[in-house]
């Protein structure tokens, strides 16, 4: 292979990665002829070449060179390709709907092909609006499971993984070993939309609510009769997603926090939400746990308890994570460059029109909303009703005095269990709020990060912990908002400890819901 000439070569090199191609000989020559790069072409994304040379793998900006040799791609006929693999609930409806809106916005012609070749379940193509309808991009979907989607990403069989759960420690380690980077980093993981796990029953069932403790007891077999919940004297017929599905794994992780083997053996397992919802709706003694977007004709039970008010999974309670069983829909991306058309689509997912598509598809979008204090009467009434002597009337007055003139953002922050690390939705919220600051959306406004805690421990210590969490979130947002004019935003922190509980502290979920940082604006 020929060597490299000219000192200006460094300007052509960019660190990036590409999907692997069969290696072929190419010679890349700068337009003035001063630089030549020879080697085996490993990848091309429509803009950049990746070449294996005697100096190692080099990535070269295609705009600065011409390509010669049998391995050179046809620049005019380049087609962007992406393979999505994983959770069917994401790939069957949501991503294709977003692709359709993306095509309309950017002036492409979209075609959908069901049951396609090479084992794909779905193929979506984008074409130019010309007489030939030139093919510009191909999006292929393998509708498998969260496990298989992540496995396909790790083995290079997919470009993007669709998951209903977070990647686990072993998967993160294998991804790093495979050169995919840190899948837990914001650039590698995208919260596409939000959903929620909801308990469901048949409309004829008289039970209207249950506590998180009751829910766990049903799933582990400790409560097996409806009479224990104020219902009829009849056995509970439990329906869940199959344990190998992403939602089945999320059920074990979020609800009972045990290995799936500890769930009751008297379970009817389903691999799809529609079948589960139909089975529950048809049986007055059935109980199910499924996604909010797939509850069908079944009736959702409210989550309640002696220390909090009844919560249902509506758009606002899921966005704020006040509802304790949120379920983010995730996309995992490799640490390499995807073709420009694919990158444009990924960037489009933050567009306001994309958030509207997500909402219309039956999921919870992430566009921030502002909630006035008048619409939060239940929370404040519960704070007064559940106030402990240590909290004190003065602290409640101070809280109302600070928050009454403000509006709460649906952007909230919570931490992983037993950790100072923000959970997956909250990490996405840091990036989203920082981006809003950089766009100037909160210029000349006031933002207050307000910390709350659970009720374990002394009230003063809890307030100090909550204040530290509020400062941690504020600092994370400020650090990410690198180009924001923060001198135009009045930003502060405060904390009220255990003054506004959302749930009882007698469960891990209740304590987690209570440990939070809210954002209030004026």
Q: Return the CATH number at 48.
A: 2.30.30
Q: What is the pLDDT of residues 8-37, one digit of tens each?
A: 433 333 333 344 444 568 999 998 888 899
Q: Which residues contact 440 (CB under 8 A, 6 or more apart)?
A: 484, 485, 488
pTM (predicted TM-score): 0.79
Q: Are residues 97 and 160 in the same domain?
A: yes
Q: How far apart are CA 296 and CA 298, in angstroms?
A: 6
- Which pLDDT does position 15 carry in this prediction? 35
- Which pLDDT does position 485 carry in this prediction? 92
What are the residues facing 140 on neighbouring strands? Answer: 83, 123
Q: Are residues 232 and 306 in the same domain?
A: yes
Q: Are residues 491 and 373 in the same domain?
A: yes
33 CB burial (10 A radius; 0-12, 13-18, 19+): exposed
Mode of pairing for the β-strands spanning 299-300 and 189-201:
antiparallel
- Which pLDDT does position 21 carry in this prediction? 43
Over its C-alpha atoms, the chain yields an Rg (Å, rounded) of 26
Q: Are residues 182 and 55 in the same domain?
A: no
State which of 159, 188, 217 marks the end of a domain: 188
- Which pLDDT does position 324 carry in this prediction? 80
C-alpha angle 295/300/303, rounded to 5°?
135
The answer to whether 247 and 327 are in contact (CB under 8 A) is: yes
* 112 three-class SS: strand
What are the residues facing 409 on neighbouring strands? Answer: 370
Domain holding 146, by residue range, is 80-188
Q: Are residues 509 and 379 in the same domain?
A: yes
CATH number of the structural domain spanning residue 510: 3.30.1330.60
321 within some domain:
no
Closest CA to 247 of 238, 265, 260, 266: 260
Closest CA to 181 of 349, 332, 58: 332
504 within some domain:
yes
Q: Are residues 156 and 200 in the same domain?
A: no
End-to-end CA distance of the chain: 64
The answer to whether 180 and 335 are in contact (CB under 8 A) is: yes
b/e burial code for range 285-315 (CB count within 10 A of at least 16 → b): bbbbbbbbbbbbebbbbebbbebbbebbbeb
Q: Are residues 394 and 516 in the same domain?
A: yes
Q: How far apart are CA 204 and CA 196, in angstroms?
A: 23
* C-alpha torsion 158→162→166→169, nearest 10: -10
Q: Which residues contact 435 (CB under 8 A, 6 or more apart)?
A: 350, 481
CATH number of the structural domain spanning residue 117: 3.40.190
Q: How far apart are CA 522 and CA 508, in angstroms?
A: 33
229 within some domain:
yes
Closest CA to 311 of 206, 231, 382, 236: 382
Q: Count each helix (H run) and each strand (E run) in the chain, helices first.
A: 15, 24
Alpha helix positions (H), 54-127: 88-89, 95-106
437 within some domain:
yes
Q: Are residues 176 and 287 in the same domain?
A: no
The total domain count for the chain is 4
Q: How far apart are CA 413 and CA 518, in angstroms?
A: 6
Q: How far apart are CA 141 and CA 144, in angstroms?
A: 9
* C-alpha torsion 514→517→520→521, nearest 10: -170
Q: Are residues 500 and 434 in the same domain?
A: yes
Measured between alpha carbons, how far is residue 449 from residues 19, 193, 401, 440, 493 in Å? Answer: 42, 24, 15, 18, 5
3-state secondary structure 253-294: HHHHCCCHHHCCCCEEEECCHHHHHHHHHCCCCEEEEEEHHH
Please name the residue that has the structure tokens 């000349």.
Answer: 444
Q: Are residues 147 and 287 in the same domain?
A: no
CATH number of the structural domain spanning residue 272: 3.40.190.10
State which of 188, 211, 226 marks the end of a domain: 188
Residue 418 backbone class (left: φ over 0; alpha: ψ -120 to 50; beta: rest): left
The answer to whether 122 and 143 are in contact (CB under 8 A) is: yes
337 within some domain:
no
Residues of the chain with confidence (pLDDT) below 50: 1-22, 258
DSSP 8-class letter at 415: B
State which of 139, 154, 188 marks the end of a domain: 188
């Amino acid at each position: 292979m020929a060597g490299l000439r000219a000192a200006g070569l460094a300007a052509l090199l960019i660190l990036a990665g590409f999907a692997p191609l069969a290696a072929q000989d190419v010679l890349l020559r700068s337009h003035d002829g001063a630089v030549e790069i020879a080697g085996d072409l490993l990848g091309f994304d429509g803009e950049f070449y990746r070449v294996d040379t005697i100096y190692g793998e080099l990535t070269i900006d295609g705009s600065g060179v011409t390509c010669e040799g049998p391995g050179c791609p046809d620049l005019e006929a380049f087609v962007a390709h992406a393979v999505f693999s994983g959770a069917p609930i994401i790939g069957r409806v949501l991503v294709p709907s977003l692709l359709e809106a993306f095509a309309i916005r950017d002036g492409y012609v979209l075609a959908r092909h069901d049951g396609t070749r090479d084992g794909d379940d779905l193929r979506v193509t984008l074409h130019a609006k010309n007489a030939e309808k030139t093919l510009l991009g191909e999006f292929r979907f393998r509708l498998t499971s969260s496990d298989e989607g992540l496995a396909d990403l790790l083995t290079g069989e997919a470009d993007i993984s669709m998951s209903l759960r977070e990647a686990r420690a072993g998967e993160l380690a294998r991804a790093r070993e495979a050169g995919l980077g840190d899948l837990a980093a914001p650039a590698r993981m995208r919260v596409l939309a939000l959903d929620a796990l909801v308990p469901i029953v048949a409309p004829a069932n008289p039970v209207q609510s249950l506590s998180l403790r009751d829910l766990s007891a049903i799933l582990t077999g400790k409560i097996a009769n409806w009479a224990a919940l104020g219902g009829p004297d009849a056995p509970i017929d439990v329906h869940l997603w199959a344990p190998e599905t992403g939602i089945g794994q999320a059920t074990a992780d979020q609800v009972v926090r045990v290995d799936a083997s500890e769930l009751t053996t008297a379970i009817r397992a389903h691999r799809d939400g529609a079948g589960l919802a139909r089975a529950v709706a048809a049986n007055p003694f059935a109980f199910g746990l499924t996604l909010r977007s797939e509850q069908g004709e079944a009736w959702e039970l409210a989550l309640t308890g002696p220390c909090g008010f009844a919560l249902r999974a509506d758009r606002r309670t899921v966005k704020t994570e006040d509802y304790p069983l949120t379920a983010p829909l995730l996309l995992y991306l490799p640490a390499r460059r995807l073709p420009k058309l694919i990158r444009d689509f990924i960037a489009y997912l933050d567009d306001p029109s994309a958030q509207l598509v997500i909402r219309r598809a039956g999921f919870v979008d992430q566009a921030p909303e502002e909630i006035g204090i008048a619409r939060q009467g239940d929370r404040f009434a519960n704070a007064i009703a559940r106030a402990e002597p240590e909290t004190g009337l003065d602290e409640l007055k101070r809280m109302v005095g600070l928050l009454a003139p403000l509006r709460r953002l649906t952007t909230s922050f919570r931490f992983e269990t037993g950790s100072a690390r923000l959970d997956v939705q909250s990490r996405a919220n840091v990036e989203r709020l920082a981006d809003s600051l950089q766009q100037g959306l909160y210029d000349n406004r006031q933002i207050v990060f307000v910390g709350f805690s659970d009720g374990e421990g002394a009230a003063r210590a809890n307030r100090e912990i909550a204040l530290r969490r509020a400062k941690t979130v504020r600092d994370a947002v400020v650090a990410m908002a690198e180009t924001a004019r923060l001198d135009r935003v009045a930003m502060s922190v405060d904390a009220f400890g255990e003054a506004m509980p959302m749930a009882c502290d007698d469960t891990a979920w209740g304590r987690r819901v209570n440990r939070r940082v809210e954002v209030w604006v004026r």
